[in-house]
Structures are given as C-alpha cells and as structure tokens.
A and B are shown apart, each in its own frame.
Chain A
Amino acid sequence: MERIRERVIQIYGNLVSLLQKCIFCILSVGPIPNHIAFIMDGNRRFTKKCKLMEGAGHKIGFSALMSMLKYCYEFGVRYVTVYAFSIENFKRSPEEVQSLMDLMLEKIEEILKEQSIVNRYGVRVIFSGNLKLLSEPVRLAAERAMLATAKNSKAVLSICVAYTSTNEIMHAVQESCEEKWDEITLLNSSGAGYGLISLGGYEQDEMDHLIKLTDIEKHMYMAAAPDPDIIIRTSGETRLSNFLLWQSANCYLYSPSVLWPEIGFRQFLWAILNFQQIHFYLDKQRKQS
C-alpha cells in the first residue's frame, strides 16, 4: 500500500517536472533574462501567519530559495542574486541576528555538499557585501564556499550579506580613491610626477575627472555580475530597501504579494512573462543611457 502511494507521488512529481520543462521550452522562444535578483521578504510574517516557532519561517524560506534557484538555472538564467542579510538587519535583536547567522553557517555547509544544487548546476558562489562586519566563523565559511566553487562556470549565485547599496557605492568610491592615490604616488616617486601630489600640474578640468565612472563600477561588490534584468521582492512591498540601487536602472521590478516562503513556480512564470513583454522597451532604455 505504502509502495503504491510512493509510486503515485513519484509519477505525479515526474509529470509536474515534465510540464515545467515544456513551459520553459515555450518561454525560451522569447528573451531569457540573464540575471534575476530576489529580495526574500516575509519570512517573519509567514512564521506569525502559520503560528510556527521562531526561525521556522527562515528555514522554509531557504527551501523556497532552493526551488527558485532550480527554476532559474533550469530555464537558463545565468546569474542569480539574493538579498540575504542587510547591514540594517544588524539592528535586530542580538538573538535574532545570531539565529540568522547560525542558519547561514548551516546552509553554507549544506550547499557545499556533493549533491547540492551548487554542484549539480555548476554554480559559482560569491558573497557580496562588507564581509568584515560578519563574525569570524561566518566570514571564514563564506570565504571557504567562494574558494570551493571558484572553478564552477555554468552559473553564478551572488549572496548579498552585510550589504547595502549605499555602503557598496561608498566602498567603491573609497577603493577608487585609494587606487588613484597609489597611481599618483607611484608617478611621483618615479620622478615623473612633476609635483602631482600638490596637484600643481593638473588643470581644473582634469582634476574634476581624476576618478571616472568606470573606476567606481569596477570596485563595486557586484562587479562580477551584469545588471539585473528582474528584481523580485515578495510580500507585495514596493521598495528596494537599499538593494542594487546602482545596478537596477533598467531593471523590471516585480512585487508579488506572496510571502517569501510561499513563492513558487507561478510567480516565477509571471515574472518571466512580464519581463518578456517589456523587454524591448527596457533594452531600448538601456541603449539610450
């Protein structure tokens, strides 16, 4: 009896999988987004709504993330970015922050295992953000994960931890200044400086353009990925909360009303369909800017 039930569930699972593959086949006639970003909002609300224990929402949210990653990589999306932990989230109670850090540590170890999604789809994992703000065990685990998956080249997963867009921009500006300083110091010490340190040798116009936009862009935490095509924020919230503000100029912002742990194939499908509808317009905007 038990075996028949298991068999039925297996057949049902295979049918659903086949249906999803067919839908992906049809969709891939249109443009496929290269990069999708997720703001995983609503875990705590889900916990409250379903009257679960604290932290359960985040654990279920992690499985929802694994499903969404599977859909993305099966469909052919090469870059996926997730907003795992904001610098602003450090303001939460120390117990909550600690439990989130523990969950992160646990899940990093899990995704590095042999049969995990990361190895199945050849995903390179990158942790973007001010990693110095993380506790040592989490930071070391993140660095280990980045090293272990560095050779994977089929897809990229950027996990934003201790990240805000304003911090990212400020950090990129700082790195650009340091780089420019090193350049000038080098020129000066090799005798070719002509007193560059005192800047007597520069015209006012040149001084305003010492640091260029390209210098700043190459120092962004997210420099390894192209600009996102779709940003999906669950729970119906319409703000970006300091996420990818620099990179989302021509990005479709989608806000389904489901909570993150409830997100599924339907929302993914809807996001892709909407994206395909406005792709031509956004592409035009991108070329103009």
Chain B
Amino acid sequence: MTLEFASFSDGKEAVAKAANVLFMKYLKSGSTSSYQGEQIFTESQMGEALKTVGGNGPEPDLLLVYGPARCHLGFPAWRIRYTEIQHMGPLKSMKYGSLIKAIYKFTMVQQNYGK
C-alpha cells in the first residue's frame, strides 16, 4: 500500500510550475513557427509536466472529506476529474462503519464518463 501526502501547493501552484516547464521545453525546442491559434500542448503533455514538478499522481476513485463541509479544499484539479467525493462528517467521529458504508455507496455508482 502506498501512502501519499498531498498539500494545497500541489494544486494551482504545481500547475504554474508545470506551465513554466512546458514553456521552457517549447523555447528549447527552438521552434520559431507562429504560435497563434494552433494547439501546441496536449493534455497528456500537461500531465507529464505536472508529474515532473510533483503535482500529479494516481487519480483517486473515492475522496472522503472529513470536516464540517463537503468541499474538496483545493485537491489537485488534474487528479479529481471523475473522483467520487463523499462527505464523512467531522474527523473526530470517524468510524469503521461509516467507512464501509462509503465504500459500499461507491460500489453502487455507475459512471458513463460523458457517454
């Protein structure tokens, strides 16, 4: 089992760092063609750049939020596209039973991914 600690700076700040990485790559490639209008980056390139700055990793299937509100509080955007976000209540009331219930609810979900 892997335990990963993420923080707020792995969100927007990591995207800014990744943007700089991509920009450097573009400059170093020495391409002098006009930028305008064409798509120069793909989402997978963005994902790779995020990985190099430490802002990317496996996408969670289930996000359990412990706190007063159901809110993801800035979890890295690139990783929670299709994550099921469940509110579990305050941290001090964390119980094994609620965890099982949350996982059960997750197994009942059907995703179309847009289709």
Chain A residues packing against B (C-beta within 8 Å): 86-92, 164-167, 169-170, 173-174, 176-178, 180-181, 197, 199, 207-213, 216, 237-242, 245-246, 248-254, 278, 281-282, 285, 289
28 contacts between A and B (CB under 8 A): A91-B113, A170-B46, A173-B41, A174-B40, A176-B23, A177-B22, A178-B36, A181-B23, A181-B26, A197-B27, A209-B20, A211-B16, A211-B19, A211-B20, A212-B16, A213-B12, A213-B13, A239-B85, A239-B111, A242-B81, A245-B78, A248-B71, A248-B72, A249-B11, A253-B85, A281-B67, A282-B69, A289-B74
Which of A86, A167, A208 is within 8 Å of B20, CB to CB?
A208
- Shortest A189–chain B CB gap in Å is 13
- Given known A-B contacts A91-B114, A92-B115, A245-B80, A177 and B23 have beta carbons under 8 A apart: yes
State the CA gap A244–B15 with chains docked (Å): 15
Which of B8, B19, B72, B77 is within 8 Å of A289, CB to CB?
B8
Which B residues lie within 8 Å of A208 (CB)?
17, 20
- Shortest B65–chain A CB gap in Å is 9
State the CA gap A177–B70 with chains docked (Å): 35
- Given known A-B contacts A178-B36, A241-B114, A170 and B41 have beta carbons under 8 A apart: yes
B3 within 8 A of A: no
State the CA gap A28–B102 with chains docked (Å): 35
In chain B, positions 56-95 with a C-beta closer than 8 Å to chain A are 67-74, 77-78, 80-86
- A197's closest neighbor in chain B, by CB? B27
Which B residues lie within 8 Å of A209 (CB)?
20
Cross-chain contact B81 with A249 (CB below 8 angstroms): no
Cross-chain contact A199 with B27 (CB below 8 angstroms): yes
Cross-chain contact B26 with A177 (CB below 8 angstroms): yes
Which A residues lie within 8 Å of B86 (CB)?
238
B1 within 8 A of A: no
- A243's closest neighbor in chain B, by CB? B81
- Given known A-B contacts A197-B27, A289-B8, A245 and B77 have beta carbons under 8 A apart: yes
Cross-chain contact A282 with B71 (CB below 8 angstroms): yes
Cross-chain contact B114 with A86 (CB below 8 angstroms): yes
Which B residues lie within 8 Å of A239 (CB)?
82-85, 111
Cross-chain contact A177 with B19 (CB below 8 angstroms): yes
- Shortest A38–chain B CB gap in Å is 16
Q: Please name the 9 residue pairs, one residue from A and one from B, whose CB atoms are nearest each other, closest first.
A: A88-B114, A249-B74, A245-B77, A278-B69, A173-B19, A242-B81, A213-B16, A211-B19, A178-B35
State the CA gap A150–B100 with chains docked (Å): 51
- Given known A-B contacts A88-B114, A173-B41, A285 and B109 have beta carbons under 8 A apart: no
Cross-chain contact A281 with B68 (CB below 8 angstroms): yes
B29 within 8 A of A: no
Which of B8, B15, B40, B84 is within 8 Å of A169, CB to CB?
B15
State the CA gap A246–B41 with chains docked (Å): 19
State the CA gap A162–B24 with chains docked (Å): 29
- Shortest A95–chain B CB gap in Å is 14
B2 within 8 A of A: no
- Given known A-B contacts A170-B43, A177-B40, A181-B35, A251 and B81 have beta carbons under 8 A apart: no
In chain B, positions 37-64 with a C-beta closer than 8 Å to chain A are 39-43, 46
Known contacts A245-B78, A252-B69; 7 further A-B pairs (Cβ under 8 A): A164-B81, A166-B43, A177-B22, A208-B17, A212-B16, A237-B109, A249-B12
Which B residues lie within 8 Å of A212 (CB)?
16
- Shortest A263–chain B CB gap in Å is 18
State the CA gap A93–B82 with chains docked (Å): 21
State the CA gap A209–B24 with chains docked (Å): 11
Which A residues lie within 8 Å of B82 (CB)?
239, 241-242
- Given known A-B contacts A213-B16, A285-B71, A174 and B77 have beta carbons under 8 A apart: no
Which A residues lie within 8 Å of B12 (CB)?
213, 246, 249
